[in-house]
A and B are shown apart, each in its own frame.
Chain A
Amino acid sequence: MSDPSPLAGDFFSLLARHHASPLRVAASPDAPVQTQATTVFAFHFADGVLMGGDRRATAGNVIVTDCVDKVLELDAMSLLAIAGVPATAFEMARVLQTSFEYYRRSQLQSLSLPAKVRALARLLRENLPMTMQGIGVVMPVFAGVDQTVSPPAPQIYFYDPLGAQFHAVGYAASGSGAGTIRSVLSFQDRYGQPRPAQMNLRQAVQFALRLLMIASEFDSATGGVNPDAHTFATIKVLRGSGVETVSAEKQAELLKS
């Protein structure tokens, strides 16, 4: 019997044809759901979307490292901030990176923003058995550029562990420190001068770094920002024209100014 026809440009189909899908496992019915420790967030500012995250990875009460990048560039027009079990989250990012580029190269056009948003939802749904076992829960924040409007507009989406996708109007946060900074973001969005959407790059980076400082005060699993020890966050900016990484040096400079 011949293989079913694959969907044009669909990297998942290609993986399935070669029996190389990495995220399919059998379910265990009685495992508890366990969330993991981190703080990642994204908010709209004047130039586009700023996405940031702390750099700490923990296992229980042990700090594994303070050098993890949780904000990942999937392609030239989309970013993923990962919260949850790193093994699964990084694998999802890798699948999406290859999948988006595979589609662009094979079909000679970029995947649309809704398709990218659903591709991540599909991975989360396929990860349900791992989520139910409590060893693979992932709650990411995604940012991509809507190319159907003029000028192209960056958008933010967040997900629940089962793959439901939600469009964030102003901001989104995930991870164990998210509760704290969501309150700050909400306050700033309502009463702030300037509001996040009005901030320029310098103000937005300063605000992002302060958000992480606050999150780390209330959540021991969130690595903070310590300029004296040259410990900064991972910060990337998504504009209509593409992605820019704000380096630790630039963060230090912007925090001082």
Chain B
Amino acid sequence: MTEEPYRWLEAIGNRREYVREQLKGGSPVFAASLPDGILLLGVGTGHSKVFELFDRHAIAGLGHPADIEKIRQAAIDAAHLEAFNRAPEDVSLRRLVGFGLSPQLKTNFEQIFSAPFLVECLLAEVGAEPNQDLIARLHFDGAFQLHTKGVVVAASQSEAESAAQTWLNQTLAGKADRNGIVEALLEAWWCVTENKPFGDGLPSDAERRDGWRKAVNGRSIEVGWLVRKSNRRARYEELTPALSSL
């Protein structure tokens, strides 16, 4: 009897290790709050990684496609029900993540006899002004952090994620050129996937540029754009074709 809690703790520890191991090869995703909107980027191999959720909301995720799909569907269901029963303006990312997705993920993670969600994701909400933007970094165990500015990264390795995020926020501070930002995100994507350091030993500009261009061969770059000012309710646009100029 007395050893039961320890067995549970061990089981949870094993589960965490298992999920991290499964997510290891995942391709990181990015969200950047810019003056004109929020840009989301992912590099996929057949399966989409960036999706529209609701009028001002989008998601980008890495992990098992079926689990990304479950999270995406749950968020879409919740957002549309909320918008229909109340109003579209009442759909908020803080509530969607804090009261909807996060508790579901935590419950699932702690039910040790069911399969865990193999997913790490970013959810974004574009505001009327840049300081009203919200980007949520949601983890497989339901933990989440809310960011109101800058670039947020979701990767399978927390150290690489943190290093990439710090480097991107320093590199892109004050920049608004969308193509330049996409280029920097892809450089960071290449560094994370190739285990390159972001501090000392960071590959040169030329190496990073060549690196990501070679690495995306056979993969698809997806860029989602939540435009801030628009007459349309739905603010999400796919920018992928516009990348041809890169």
Contacts and interface: CB of A to CB of B under 8 A. Distances in A.
Nearest to A102: B80
B234 A101 contact: yes
A15 B53 contact: no
B226 to A, nearest CB: 13
Interface stretch (B81-89, B130-138, B158-166): B81-89
A105 B76 contact: yes
A95 B85 CA distance: 10
A76 B234 CA distance: 9
Contacts of B51: 105, 108
A95 B77 CA distance: 14
A106 interface: yes
A32 B52 CA distance: 46
B80 A20 contact: no
Contact of A18 (B48, B73, B81): B81
Of residues A15, A18, A95, A102, which shows the largest number of chain B Cβ atoms within 10 Å of its Cβ?
Answer: A102
Contacts of A11: 80, 84
B42 to A, nearest CB: 15
Contact of A105 (B54, B81, B84, B85): B54
A82 to B, nearest CB: 18
Contacts of A214: none
Contacts of A15: 81, 84
A186 interface: no
A163 B211 CA distance: 59
B81 A101 contact: no
A98 B83 contact: yes
Contacts of A95: 84
A94 interface: yes
A95 B81 CA distance: 11
B214 interface: no
B53 A20 contact: no
Contacts of B80: 11, 14, 98, 101-102, 105
B85 A20 contact: yes
A95 B53 CA distance: 18
Nearest to A95: B84
B175 interface: no
Contacts of A76: 232, 234
B230 to A, nearest CB: 12
B29 to A, nearest CB: 17
Nearest to B55: A101
Contacts of A102: 76, 80
A105 B53 contact: yes
Contact of B73 (A94, A98, A101, A106): A106
Contacts of B81: 14-15, 18, 20
B66 to A, nearest CB: 15
Interface in A100-114: 101-102, 105-106, 108
Contacts of B53: 105
A102 B77 CA distance: 8
A14 to B, nearest CB: 6
Interface in A63-110: 76, 94-95, 98, 101-102, 105-106, 108
A97 to B, nearest CB: 9
Residue with the highest number of chain B CB atoms closer than 10 Å, among A18, A94, A102, A105? A105
Q: Which 7 A-B pairs have the closest CB atoms?
A: A102-B80, A98-B84, A106-B76, A105-B76, A105-B52, A98-B80, A20-B85
Interface of B: 48, 51-54, 73, 76-77, 80-81, 83-85, 232, 234
Given A11-B84, A15-B84, A106-B77, 15 more contacts: A11-B80, A14-B77, A14-B81, A15-B81, A18-B81, A20-B85, A76-B232, A76-B234, A98-B80, A98-B84, A105-B51, A105-B76, A106-B73, A106-B76, A108-B48
